[in-house]
Amino acid sequence: MLNLLKRIGLFVILLSFFLVISQTTASVYAEGGWYGKHTSVMDVKLAGLNVRSGPGTSYPIIAQVSKGEDLVRYCPTTPNGCSPVGADGQEWLRNYYPDGNIGYYANAALGWIAWYSSDGGLSNKNYNYTQTAKVNRTSYLYTGDCPNLNSRKQTYDSPGEYQPAYDSELSASVCNPNAWRVRNYDITDYGFANGWNLNAE
């Protein structure tokens, strides 16, 4: 009986230790988990790029995006994840596209745009991955990205300045496609900026 109680006691101690470790790991992941939850910001290369409701030219055009506009790649709930869909001799990706009617923090207009041009080649892409953004309107840094930008830092960039990507590519948060993760080199700080105030380049 004594041996059984010792074994139960040892089991309880080991279980408690495991739970503490698990909670610590979960906490660390929760704090840094957003780092992996980002989606690429892209710069449109062609004028009048059609946005369609689905992947293919048979789907209706729902908007047009001008040259130099920004797109935020949409991944989370597409059936194929981030992989492009082939249709009509082109590759198609689902993106958020600019829509001033949607709302300041919720640039959530979705559509499909051809990844490759229709000139017969698969090397001519309609938009580029970007590494920096030019400031159009005064842009502040925020510590938090979701659900809206929050915890504003006393750090800002003025129009005409640049905010380089913090990561290798300019990235937006999945939960808030307007929250772009950038760096301010002037004071060696980083955080999230409002994509409506920036132009990916």
Provide DSSP, 123-149.
S-BSEEE-SEEEESS-EEEEEE-SSS-
Residue 39 in this model has a pLDDT that exceeds 90: no
Q: What is the pLDDT of residue 3?
A: 56
Query: Both tokens of residue 134?
Result: 């030019």
Confidence of residue 120 (pLDDT cuts 50, 70, 90): low
Lowest mean pLDDT among 25-34, 51-60, 103-112, 142-151: 25-34
Give the distance from CA 5 to its chain's centroid: 53
Q: Which of 82-86, 138-142, 154-158 has the highest mean pLDDT?
A: 138-142
Give the distance from CA 76 to its chain's centroid: 10
Q: In 10 A of CB 2, how many CB atoms?
A: 6
Confidence of residue 197 (pLDDT cuts 50, 70, 90): very high
Q: Are 41 and 98 in contact (CB under 8 A)?
A: no
Q: In 10 A of CB 40, how many CB atoms?
A: 23
Q: Are 163 and 153 in contact (CB under 8 A)?
A: no
